[in-house]
Amino acid sequence: MPALTGLMRDLPSHASPVYSPGPSTGKDVSGFDLDNGRSESPPPPTVLSPAFTPPSTPGAGTPTKQKEPRSILVDTASQRPPKLLDTLPEVNCVVRARIPTVTGAEMFLHLYQNNVDDKEHLAIVFGNNIRSRSLDAPRSGETEMDRMIRGAYTGRLHPGRTSSRIDPKPQPSTSPPVDQVIQTSALVRIHSECYTGETAWSARCDCGEQLDEAARLMSLPSSPGGVIVYLRQEGRGIGLMEKLKAYNVQDLGWDTVEANLMLRHPADARSYGLATAMLLDLGFGGDAGIKLLTNNPDKVRAVEGPNREVIVKERVAMVPLAWKTGGKKGIHSEEIEGYLRTKIGKMGHMLG
Ligand SMILES: Nc1nc2c(ncn2[C@@H]2O[C@H](COP(=O)(O)OP(=O)(O)OP(=O)(O)O)[C@@H](O)[C@H]2O)c(=O)[nH]1
């Protein structure tokens, strides 16, 4: 069908996010034809959230720069709780530093230690009013200089400052007061490390784009602030070495879930107790609730913790930039199409 082939070539690569259930003649159990990188039928409504509409008119959904994130109300109280450990890990923020960023926005990087692993998990905090309880707690024998060096200061550091508590030259704050932040649910993203997608320019996944988008939304002038909890759970918890093997398995024709299973790993080996504990430390416990930036339904309930220590009130979908902009921006590759299709079809991701 030369006419159809020509038409397909003219469409942006993301134009048909497809999933075909039932018997398939292709290699992939999700119905995705691995030979030509596309499938004939549209996704059934069951695999997409009601709000999702495939971008039939490329370019029609181009967002304006300052657009507020669209969120969907979440009610996890009525859902069956996932299997979580009974107790949350202990976390301790050991240092915090101000990082001016290339976009002009400023954030505070918080480095955590914990009692379950030796990794340096991070909280990337936007806004001046989100404080770590463990960081601010006094340590015996420490001097004011010690406190400033580990980041337990208010306001801003500047040459000559001697007290961690009173900033003699307070900076004007554009953020609302703390109480207000707690009443308007803050934006939170729980992000799992992805060296390939965030550092090595990989077009196999959308991890780098999601990290950038989360930071952009939290830096909008209208944003009450927010936190990206950055967990060192590379490769959905299997580590970089195993993830690279999984990429080779994927190049041999299997999808991201099958590749993990073939290597004798779970499809997803992550847990979120550390994230819950870090959010509690940053003051997000109780009724205030959070707005969680995610497409992953498992993450929504798991982040709340065994006793719903943190409550996810709303979910904000992380729609791929290529879908939102009709293909003008974002990631274009055969690999990312297969990856997103598998996340929707097999991992229940809701991209809308
Ligand atoms: N094993 C494996 N891990 C991958 C692959 N691609 C990305 N990852 C890892 O997957 C994690 C990100 O997971 P995603 O599925 O993109 O997203 P999510 O965290 O489940 O959900 P969102 O909140 O919607 O982003 C990171 O740890 C990546 O390193 C892959 O093909 N195989």
Task: Report CA(131)–ligand 1 centroid distance (Å).
Answer: 28
- What ligand 1 atom has the least distance to the C-alpha of 193? 27
Per-residue pLDDT of the chain (352 residues; tens, 9 = 90+): 333 333 333 333 333 333 233 333 333 323 333 333 333 334 333 333 333 333 332 233 333 445 566 777 776 766 665 667 789 999 999 999 999 999 999 999 999 999 999 999 999 999 988 999 999 999 999 999 999 999 999 999 999 999 999 765 655 554 444 444 444 688 999 999 999 999 999 999 999 999 999 999 999 988 888 999 999 999 999 999 999 999 999 999 999 999 999 999 999 999 999 999 999 999 999 888 999 999 999 999 999 999 999 999 999 999 999 998 999 999 999 999 999 999 999 999 987 7
Task: Say if 128 falls within a structural domain.
Answer: yes
pLDDT tens figures, 194-241: 999 999 999 999 999 999 999 999 999 888 889 999 999 999 999 999
Q: Which amino acid is at 220?
A: L
Task: Say if 311 falls within a structural domain.
Answer: yes
* 296 ligand 1 Cβ < 6 A: yes
- What ligand 1 atom has the least distance to the C-alpha of 206? 16
Task: Say if 299 falls within a structural domain.
Answer: yes
The total number of structural domains in the chain stands at: 1
Task: Say if 346 falls within a structural domain.
Answer: no
> Whose alpha carbon is nearest atom 2 of ligand 1?
235
Neighbour-count burial for 7-20, b at 16+ CB within 10 Å, e otherwise:
eeeeebbbbbbbbb
Q: Which pLDDT score, from 0 to 100, does residue 53 have?
A: 31
Domain of 223: which CATH number?
3.40.50.10990
Q: Which pLDDT score, from 0 to 100, does residue 79 have?
A: 64
Neighbour-count burial for 205-219, b at 16+ CB within 10 Å, e otherwise:
bbbbbbbebbbebbb
Task: Say if 284 falls within a structural domain.
Answer: yes
Q: Are 164 and 144 in contact (CB under 8 A)?
A: yes
> Whose alpha carbon is nearest atom 31 of ligand 1?
256
Q: Are 326 and 55 in contact (CB under 8 A)?
A: yes
Task: Report CA(272)–ligand 1 centroid distance (Å).
Answer: 14
* 193 ligand 1 Cβ < 6 A: yes
Q: Which pLDDT score, from 0 to 100, does residue 277 have?
A: 98
What is the domain extent for residue 201? Answer: 91-233+270-316
Residue from 69, 66, 117 nearest 270 by CA: 117
Q: Which pLDDT score, from 0 to 100, does residue 39 have?
A: 36
Task: Say if 241 falls within a structural domain.
Answer: no
Task: Say if 276 falls within a structural domain.
Answer: yes
* 192 ligand 1 Cβ < 6 A: yes
* 208 ligand 1 Cβ < 6 A: no
Identify the three-state secondary structure at position 281. helix
Q: Which pLDDT score, from 0 to 100, does residue 185 have?
A: 81
Q: Are 290 and 185 in contact (CB under 8 A)?
A: yes
Task: Say if 202 falls within a structural domain.
Answer: yes
Q: Which pLDDT score, from 0 to 100, does residue 168 have?
A: 58
Mutate-to-test residue for ligand 1 from 207, 227, 295, 335, highest number of ligand atoms within 8 A of CB: 207
Alpha helix stretches (DSSP H) within 125-272: 133-136, 144-149, 178-183, 195-198, 207-219, 240-251, 256-262
